[in-house]
A and B are shown apart, each in its own frame.
Chain A
Amino acid sequence: MSKVISWLAMGLALTVAGCAAKPKSVAVATGEVTIDGEAVDGGIISFIDAATDQPAAGAAVTGGRYIIYPESQLPPGDYKIEIRWSKSTGERLKEPVYGHSPFVFAEAIPARYNSESELKVELLEGANEVNFRLGK
């Protein structure tokens, strides 16, 4: 009886091993984003594949920090970085729309960090700590 069980266990183990997918290599990134020393809060950081120029993953920048989660399936490699932060100017809209923020927003990050980005990083497999302490 115990022989039968051990054969069954072995068969099961082989089946499971055979079905398990080969883990894809994924880069996870986290770090700090500041502009002139001020923590970016409510911005978006985009990782754009340097070879294909296609956006590969992104993360919210909240309280000056971002995390690219493993679910984003970001492969290790070279990336161009774009950072945008639409920041409230403190001024109020003349005719606020119901359901919208009543404040006026303006881009707080210079174009050389987003639409004409010069920021480049190389991500390795596993955890990466990449900080962006930007100056205007």
Chain B
Amino acid sequence: MALSAKAQPRFGFTLIELLVVIAIIAVLIGLLVPAVQKVREAANRMSCTNNLKQLAIAMHSYHDANQKFPANQQQIGTNVWESLSATFWILPYIEQDAVFKSVTVPTNAPAQGVSTAGAGNRTAWSNAYNGAMNVAIKTMVCPSAIPGPRRGANNRGWDGPGSNYGWCYGSRVFANWDGSSNGFISQTKQNRMADVSDGTSNTIMAGEFLSGSNARATAGPGKYPFDIFFAGDALYNSVANKDFATAAELDAIGAAARNRPQGILSANGTLPLWYSATQSAFNTAAPPNWSWPSAGGNCCPGGSHDWGPGIIPPRSLHSGGVNVVLGDGSVKFIRDSINLVTFQRLGNRSDGQPPGDF
């Protein structure tokens, strides 16, 4: 053969060169993926911040129209737990007027914050439970959170479209049925702006929490940090100052809830329009993303709403803290490491003390 490889100039590239290029591209993509995840989480967090802002503005609009904030209970059914949350009243201000109008509050229903067995109307409740309460409201869901059990997924029935935001009941170790609530919003009373004597810029109005894991109802095992663990009422009674539980007392209740739960709740964070804590309210008795599971009192006669005492701190999957909106409408990111008393004072609308740095 006269033609030799040497004489011919080569075009193209070898297999090795191709592999090297592919390897370099792979490394570059590998560097990019975590950055994309970070940007996604940052966008989710911003969207969460915006949700809280909308809720605060809606609450102010309601106050402008009614000179009062709503209570976190409007009984419509004949049973006292057949009640709507404060979120129901602000639906028209978050562009959910159609959902708002689909619910009829019966004329014989008690006033906001009042519960009377036998008042209300059975049909009004079942229409709301199967209609408005089962409508997904985008403003009520944090995109970083994991969705809770959908309607029909949980055998106790208290499941729904998802709820990651609640109103602040204050710093007391009570979840529901607390007549002495010191929070911006109460279950049993319609507060006015003037009741927030610490100042709206020093008091938390609303914050975020996580949805339940849909673990087996009441028997568990529950999943931290998503589910609520019942510790019994007795320990809460033994807390010296119910408004400001100490770190040691919280530790005692948290450890009892985790290690000897009387039962668990895993259909929390599902129904934004249902009145109970863990669905539409929380408290600031313990720090955000508390290292022990969120705790209830006596377990389970009716699922998730019968208990009075409870420690239901705000929680999120954002790293290192939670978003809250203060009474003046400013959204703050509160770190998990916040001083306990500072956080309790932020939740308490009328403790009379400056909260300190946060």
Closest-CB distance, B10 to chain A (whole angstroms): 36
CB distance A58 to B305 under 8 Å?
Answer: no
Closest-CB distance, A111 to chain B (whole angstroms): 11
Q: Which residues of A contact B246 (CB under 8 A)?
A: 46, 55, 58
CB distance A55 to B238 under 8 Å?
Answer: no
Contact of A71 among B239, B247, B291, B306 (CB under 8 A): B291
Please tell me if B179 contacts chain A, counting CB pairs below 8 Å. yes
CB distance B240 to A99 under 8 Å?
Answer: no
CB distance A62 to B256 under 8 Å?
Answer: yes
Contact of B259 among A54, A69, A114 (CB under 8 A): A69
Q: How far is the CA of A98 from the CA of B307 in the complex (A)?
A: 8
The chain A residue with its CB closest to the CB of B302 is: A99
Contact of A42 among B238, B255, B307 (CB under 8 A): B238
Please tell me if A124 contacts chain B, counting CB pairs below 8 Å. no
The chain A residue with its CB closest to the CB of B251 is: A58
- Chain B interface residue number, banded: 20 to 34
The chain A residue with its CB closest to the CB of B176 is: A99
Q: Which residues of B contact A42 (CB under 8 A)?
A: 232, 234-235, 237-238
Q: Of residues 34 to 78 in A, which have CB atoms within 8 Å of B's CB atoms? A: 41-48, 54-60, 62, 67, 69, 71-72
Q: Which residues of B contact A45 (CB under 8 A)?
A: 252
CB distance A101 to B233 under 8 Å?
Answer: yes
CB distance A57 to B251 under 8 Å?
Answer: yes
The chain A residue with its CB closest to the CB of B255 is: A69
Q: Which residues of A contact B311 (CB under 8 A)?
A: none
0/1 string, B281-323, CB within 8 A of A gives 1: 0000000000100000010000001111100000000000000
Please tell me if A25 contacts chain B, counting CB pairs below 8 Å. no
Q: How far is the CA of A17 from the CA of B350 in the complex (A)?
A: 51
Contact of A100 among B177, B256, B259 (CB under 8 A): B177
CB distance B298 to A58 under 8 Å?
Answer: no
Q: How far is the CA of A69 from the CA of B308 in the complex (A)?
A: 27
CB distance A60 to B253 under 8 Å?
Answer: yes
Closest-CB distance, A82 to chain B (whole angstroms): 8
Please tell me if A86 contacts chain B, counting CB pairs below 8 Å. yes
Q: How far is the CA of A45 from the CA of B234 in the complex (A)?
A: 13
Q: Which residues of A contact B259 (CB under 8 A)?
A: 69
Contact of B250 among A48, A58, A86, A97 (CB under 8 A): A58
Closest-CB distance, B328 to chain A (whole angstroms): 32
Q: How far is the CA of A80 from the CA of B179 in the complex (A)?
A: 34
Q: How far is the CA of A105 from the CA of B238 in the complex (A)?
A: 9
Q: How far is the CA of A57 from the CA of B240 in the complex (A)?
A: 15
CB distance B238 to A84 under 8 Å?
Answer: yes
Please tell me if A113 contacts chain B, counting CB pairs below 8 Å. no
Q: Which of A54, A56, A82, A97 is packed against the most chain B CB atoms within 10 Å? A: A97
Please tell me if B115 contacts chain A, counting CB pairs below 8 Å. yes
Residue positions of B touching A, CB distance < 8 A: 80, 115, 176-177, 179, 231-235, 237-240, 246-253, 255-256, 259-260, 291, 298, 305-309
Knowing that A44-B238, A46-B248, A47-B248 touch, tell me 11 more A-B residue pairs with CB under 8 angstroms: A45-B252, A55-B248, A58-B250, A58-B251, A60-B260, A62-B260, A67-B255, A71-B291, A85-B238, A86-B238, A98-B177
A and B contact pairs by CB, cutoff 8 A, 15 listed: A43-B235, A44-B252, A45-B252, A55-B246, A55-B248, A56-B247, A60-B253, A60-B256, A69-B255, A71-B255, A85-B238, A98-B80, A99-B176, A100-B308, A101-B233
